[in-house]
Structure 1
Amino acid sequence: MALLRSSKHVSVDEENPYWMSFSDIMSGLLVIFILASVILILQLMELREQAEQERERLQDQVVEVEEEIKLLRKAEEVRKNILTEAAEILQKRGIQVEVSENSTVLRIPNQLLGFDTGADQIGQQYQDTAHEIGEVLRQLISQENRSDYLDTVFVEGHTDSRPFNGRLCGEKGNWCLSTFRAISLWQFWERALPTGAKLSSLTNGEGKPLFSVSGYAETRPVVENQRTEDDYSKNRRIDIRFTIRRPSSEDYEKVRDKVELTR
């Protein structure tokens, strides 16, 4: 009987020759599935880590952009405060200057400096007024590191529309005359202000001289249609134009790239 049972068992295995091979295949597939799952999990973890790093990088870039915007707003605020305070202080001293062109220019009318037609020198009777204007500008720009937010302060000369052919200017005409008027005021400030309070000692955030001189001839009139002596007089003036530090084209390109990355 024992031999019979043994023989029967062997015959069952012989009837299923592929049973062990199928089991091995299933075991192998299970191992492959497990390995694939592990690899997938690792890849997902890596992708998640990369996404987190990218998110943090974008957040840092957004912070940088916001800081640039804050700096620009601060610079605009500093410029506006300088101009407003200068006008208020000078008004209290009886000197009527104007703040114009979106709070970027301190306009000194001709009656405060007395430029006659074809003249570029400040008359003796106007020098005290010119001195006070320079003194107030130096005082206000020097406060609280305000000059760090400025780029350039232009002393701009302007003429009326009548042609000028003076001996020194020749064919350069009003371009020469307007520039000489700005130079005249600047040189007066350099002579009149104390050694430790000269405007030429002021520098911008890059350490470069803050003040510059320019002339615009009759190209930027206050009164377009000049017919009367009063019209001509209003255009003979000095403008003190404040420009602030602004982002460079490279900075704008960086912002553009950051915006595109967030899309």
Structure 2
Amino acid sequence: MSRLDALFGRGSAAGSEEEHHWLSVSDLMAGLMMVFLLISIALMQHALKERDRVTQVAETYQATQVAIFEALRKEFEDDLPRWEAEIDPKTLALTFKSPEVLFATGSYQLRPRFEQILADFYPRYLEVLAPFKSVIDEIRIEGHTSSRWNRLVSEDDAYFLNMQLSQDRTRSVLNYLYQLPETQADKAWVKKTTAAVGYSSAHPELDENQQENAERSRRVSFRVLTNAESQIRTILDEVTP
């Protein structure tokens, strides 16, 4: 009997040790789960904060877009019809749409009438944008052509010839603006923010049948790009490992 008791006693001790072992493992797992839960909550809170930051930038961007558009519209609404120009509220592009006023066919020399328009437009344009300098990344002068050249060249050759022409035209515009007396006070900012870009026929204007409207495709735009995109990219870079 005593041997059985001794054996039973030893069995009870072993069972207690095993039970204690499993309790320790359970406590450890519970602790780890709590740690993971706290980490998950912290990450979720961080993600929500970053989402709120992106939302705030987007809302500020929208408000800035509206403010710039309204300022441009208020300043130029009486001039746009006689300049044959328009302002796009979505892209903040002010576009001169009358090709016979802008340049002669195949030429990058500004016509006298376009020089007069630019001399009237650009100093006022800089004045309108002055309150928004802190949020403007770039002023882009965009040149567009039709896809046409002449019958002696291929479609691909016409594209690259028009690319050169559109680039030469925007550089001519920028060079003329850069020499204006009214530009001199803002020359450093103009040099820092203004780019002259030629797109050839990459962005044609289309008619109601979705065919290229060659006449309307020949145009020059002044487009404002704000820093909202770079701000959002900075936020995403901060949260991306």
The question of a shared fold, defined as TM-score above 0.5 by the shorter chain, is answered with: yes
C-alpha RMSD of the superposition: 3.8
CA drift at 1:78: 2.8
Structure 2 unaligned runs (5+)? 152-157
Deviation at 1:73, TM superposition (A): 4.7
- Does structure 2 conserve the Cα–Cα contact (< 8 Å) formed by 1:84 and 1:99? no
- Number of aligned positions between the proteins: 220
Greater Rg, structure 1 or structure 2?
A: 1
Q: Is the 8 A contact 1:80 1:104 kept in 2?
A: no
Q: 1:76 to 1:212 in 2, by over 3 A?
A: farther
Map 1:121-160 onto structure 2 (within 5 A): 121-144=109-132, 145-147=134-136, 150=137, 152-160=138-146
Equivalent residues of 1:131, 1:189 under 8 A apart = yes
Q: Secondary structure at the match of 1:103?
A: coil
Residue in structure 2 matching 1:241, options 220, 223, 226: 223
Structure 2 Cα separation of the partners of residues 216 and 104 of structure 1: 18
Structure-1 residue corresponding to 2:54: 68
Identity over the aligned pairs, expressed in percent?
A: 13
Question: CA 1:39–1:185 in structure 2 vs 1: closer, same or farther (change >3 Å)?
Answer: same
Q: In the aligned structure 2, how far is the partner of 1:140 from the partner of 1:211?
A: 15
Counterpart in the other structure of 1:100: 88
Contact 1:161 1:232 survives alignment (8 Å): yes
> Following TM superposition, by how much is the alpha carbon of 1:238 offset from its aligned partner in structure 2, in angstroms?
0.7
Compute the displacement of 1:89 (Å): 1.1
> By how many angstroms is 1:64 displaced?
2.1
Q: Mapping of 1:168-179 within 5 angstroms?
A: 173-179=161-167
Inter-partner Cα distance in structure 1 for 2:200 and 2:36: 60
Q: Return 5+ residue gaps in structure 1 as ranges.
A: 1-14, 166-170, 204-208, 226-230, 258-263
- 55-64 or 135-144, which deviates more: 135-144
User: Residue 5 of structure 2: which of 5, 16, 19 is its match?
Assistant: 19
Q: Distance in 1 between matches of 2:190 and 2:52?
A: 29
Amino acid in structure 1 at the alignment position of 2:186: A
When residues 132 and 60 of structure 1 are mapped into structure 2, their CA distance, relative to the original with a 3 A threshold, is farther
Give the superposition deviation at 1:190.
0.8
Q: What are the Cα deviations for residues 121-146 of structure 1, in whole angstroms up to 9, with x where unaligned?
A: 33444444313432343334442412
